[in-house]
Chain A
Amino acid sequence: MKFEDYRTQSHYDEYFEAEGVPRPSILPFIRRINQLSDKKILRWKRAAESALLQAGITFALYGEQEGQIDRIFPFDIIPRIIDSQDWNVIEPGLKQRIYVLNQFIDDIYNEQKILQDNIIPGEIIMSAKSYRQQCAGFHPPKSIWCHITGTDIVRDSTGQLYVLEDNLRCPSGVSYALEDREVLKRTFPRVFETMRVYPIDDYPNKLYEMLSYLAPTNVDSPTIVVLTPGIFNSAYFEHSFLARQMGVQLVEGRDLVVVDGFVCMKTIYGLKQVDVIYRRIDDDFIDPLSFREDSMLGIPGIMDVYRSGRVAIANSPGTGVADDKAIYAYVPQMTKYYLDEDMILPNVPTYLCWDEKQRKHVIGNIDKLVVKAVNESGGYGMLVGPHSTERQQAEFIDKINANPRNYIAQPTLDLSCVPTVVDNHYEPRHVDFRPYILYGQDIWVMPGGLTRVALPKGSLVVNSSQGGGSKDTWVLQATEQKRVSPRTSSKRLDNR
């Protein structure tokens, strides 16, 4: 298993700048890997997978039969590596974006200046399914709405980085990023020393700090909880993981109750007041009195306590409005409006089917575009034009015409690739990247994150529900440009 045999197959490759020419920042890693025998690499791969299974780092797919063994999120030991040059764009780009989105959400639920100034058409906001009338006029603690974000970033064939999605509701996956790192630290200990990889272990600390910051001001040592829908949720492992990492209680809706205007949890000694809730339940289910009446997962009356400021909830209900893919298309205008700046990290060009002219373009070019329903996630409700049949295209055209507000389209990006272990050699596989951003006293971007990889050959869909796996993500710290070799030929691999 040597990289000499690796072919980039003419995609943008995160490891190679040209066929057989590794990127300088990746070179130390490739050298190390090339020293290892195939047997060792395959053994480590199995060891990594069994470590994940033993630790119960598993997920369940919806609709699987009962009694089926949990599966691990497939894991590839070859990491995705992001050099400091790229990071110097991603980090400020995300800080700018989260700041702007928070401004936007606060504005939309209060003064609506951006609508009055005709930057965004009001009807596109009011028609968003994720717009919560119940949040109008509300000011969340410290004016922060989106405390935890998991932004999806992709790179196209030209090497340009884009923000693909924002995920402002309950983004998941950070536990896999942290556990994947633990596994790789054991697998390649020496490489970590030589390559100056940013540590990411700090995330639970930062999360705890951020949640404490939200607590009502009169509370000295706040009681913080993680709220999960329960053990049958596919991300349950993560909820439990985060509660453990922060040393806080993991609660379900049935453990909480509203008494005398406070949220309390039921303990063996009676009721205990809760100050901050990191909820991993969707808006729809959090309070049957405010949202869906049939929710069995929520806590009746919790929204009243929230509105009265006696409990903080992260993320705030209502943030999903900015996840609407039609509203996503307006982030460049928002950035200009709130900050008078251009976007550091651009959006993928997006066509709104809602607009007649753009809709015509989408329908005329449907075989080249990716069409997405504005409220879906997880790889559901989308059409990848070049990989679809004419019949599927016709179906989507009908859907678009029936409800144009519900669809957007984007060019089909040839996502960048990272070498991935396939059987007993490396092949390029498409990836995306989800770093996590916390918004508390200030905005912090985790220097790392979850790289999702589409494991089936040629697939562009990275979601775990559609055959995706994960990779560790290494963000490299800037070095003092000392190791650049004068001889370019040395970058070429020896063909021993």
Chain B
Amino acid sequence: MLSRVAESIFWMSRYVERAENIARFIDVNLRLVLDTPMDINLQWEPLVQITADEELFSSQYSSPNQKNVLNFLIFNVKNPNSITSCVSRARDNARTVREVITAEMWLCINEFYLFLLSPRCRTEAFSSPNTFLTKVKNYSQLLIGLAESTMVHNEGWHFIRMGHLLERADKTSRSLDMKYFIVLPEVDYVGTAYDTLQWAALLKSVSALDVYRKQYHRITPSNIVRFLFFQPDFPRSVKYCLRECDASLHEVTMTPPGSYSNPAERQLGILRAEIEYADVNEIVQVGLHEYIDTFQLKLNRVGDTIMSSLFMVRPSESETMGRRTR
């Protein structure tokens, strides 16, 4: 597989997953609207904070009200992390790898893109945002399903998995962080029904509320961290994403599991070990927000080393490695 193609397919998948997760973030807030007491002004600013785009936002909008934030996160093409930007870039990448993905996947991603550009979609996003967000999530899920069921499970497929799993690990950790940014109106609210409501909305936005309840029954912050970070069999948990990503990476390089042959495998292995052997109580001691911050930096480094060790082939290096294959 061409390095450029591997890179494109990896990013195509990342961008679609990113669009889906932006939709999930918005979803949390919309759920909170329904249950927020009338006298409390619902905050939309945290949505901009968790993707760390405050500066860009304030350069274009005066106040972080619902309309502005939705517009910024869904349609604004100057925001590289808006849903439209993500899908448009995913489609650009898909266009360059059409001979690797299947026709069904291309149709899906192109339809997703055309849907976002349609005037109908613009009306719907503001008039019935829930319907709109569900569509965005469905397109992304459909694409993952199509990759699963129509693609040959070869290198290309593994790069798709690596793309969406890395992105998902990042976004799940960020969604936990959202609770940090949504400030409770008063200190008294900690541990109240309103606090629980926020945690529940958060779980729901990552499709985790029901499964979480089966496991832990009651909503407590430390169990939520335990679940979203370390639940080994929940497909949006950080641990799950990193394990599967690691497995796909080893499938591509054919390095035996638990060992490494390039910097990407090494970085990912180190991060995985940290997550595998972490302890929730320690995290709470360090502070969740700080822990998540550090985690994201390390995750970014994994992404960077995947780029540099798999996507950038230089003739001189390959020659000395004697890897010219026929």
Contacts and interface: CB of A to CB of B under 8 A. Distances in A.
B99 A55 contact: no
Contacts of A259: 315, 319, 324
Contacts of B311: 268
Contact of B77 (A67, A250, A270): A67
Interface in A245-295: 247-252, 254-255, 257, 259, 264-273
Interface string B136-167: 00000000000000000001000000000000
Contacts of B107: 54-55
A278 to B, nearest CB: 13
A243 B98 CA distance: 9
Nearest to A55: B107
Nearest to A248: B99
B98 A264 contact: no
Contacts of B117: 69
Contact of A54 (B1, B95, B111, B326): B111
Contact of A243 (B99, B106, B324): B99
Given A55-B107, A255-B2, A270 B326 contact: no
A240 B92 CA distance: 13
A267 B106 contact: no
B213 interface: no
B3 interface: yes
A240 B95 contact: yes
A254 to B, nearest CB: 7
B324 A271 contact: yes
A231 interface: yes
Contact of B324 (A53, A55, A273): A273
Contacts of B114: 53-54
A268 B325 contact: no
Interface string B94-134: 01101100000011001100100100000000000000000
A249 B2 contact: yes
Contacts of B59: none
A88 to B, nearest CB: 37
Nearest to A256: B2
B5 to A, nearest CB: 8
Interface in A90-145: none
B2 A251 contact: yes
B2 A271 contact: no
B4 A255 contact: yes
B52 interface: no
Contacts of B270: none
Nearest to A251: B2
State the main secondary structure of chain A at its contact with B: mixed
Contacts of A254: 4
Give the one of A53, A243, A249, A271 with max B CB within 10 A. Answer: A271
Interface in B154-212: 155
A266 B96 contact: no
B323 interface: yes
B6 interface: yes
B313 A266 contact: yes
Contacts of B41: none
Interface in B49-104: 77, 92, 95-96, 98-99
B229 to A, nearest CB: 30
Nearest to B311: A268
B252 interface: yes
A56 interface: yes
Given A231-B96, A249-B2, A255-B2, A271 B313 contact: yes
B95 A264 contact: no
Contacts of B252: 268
A230 B96 CA distance: 8
Nearest to A230: B96
**Chain B interface residue number, banded:** 20 to 34
A43 interface: no
B318 interface: yes
A244 interface: yes
Contacts of A265: 2
A56 B96 CA distance: 12
Contacts of B5: 249
A243 B97 CA distance: 10
A270 B318 CA distance: 5
A354 interface: no
A285 B324 CA distance: 26
B106 A268 contact: no
Give the one of B4, B252, B310, B311 with max A CB within 10 A. Answer: B4
A42 B4 CA distance: 43
B99 A244 contact: yes
B36 to A, nearest CB: 37
A236 interface: yes
A376 to B, nearest CB: 29
A346 B287 CA distance: 84
A107 B3 CA distance: 41
Given A236-B95, A249-B99, A268 B3 contact: yes
A267 B99 contact: no
A267 B106 CA distance: 23
Contacts of B77: 67
B40 interface: no
Contacts of A56: 95, 106, 110
A272 B3 CA distance: 11
B322 to A, nearest CB: 9
A236 B94 CA distance: 13
A247 B319 CA distance: 28
B96 to A, nearest CB: 5
A270 B323 contact: yes
Given A54-B114, A67-B77, A272 B326 contact: yes
Contacts of B286: none
B321 interface: yes
B6 A250 contact: no
A188 B223 CA distance: 62
Contacts of B106: 55-56
A247 B106 CA distance: 16
Interface string A45-72: 0000000011110000000000101000
Contacts of B96: 230-231, 240, 250
6 contacts: A54-B110, A54-B111, A55-B107, A231-B95, A231-B96, A254-B4
Given A67-B77, A240-B98, 10 more contacts: A54-B114, A231-B96, A236-B95, A241-B98, A243-B99, A244-B98, A259-B315, A267-B2, A268-B155, A269-B325
List of 10 A-B pairs having minimum Cβ-Cβ separation, nearest first: A270-B323, A266-B313, A270-B318, A244-B99, A243-B99, A240-B98, A271-B324, A56-B110, A271-B318, A266-B3
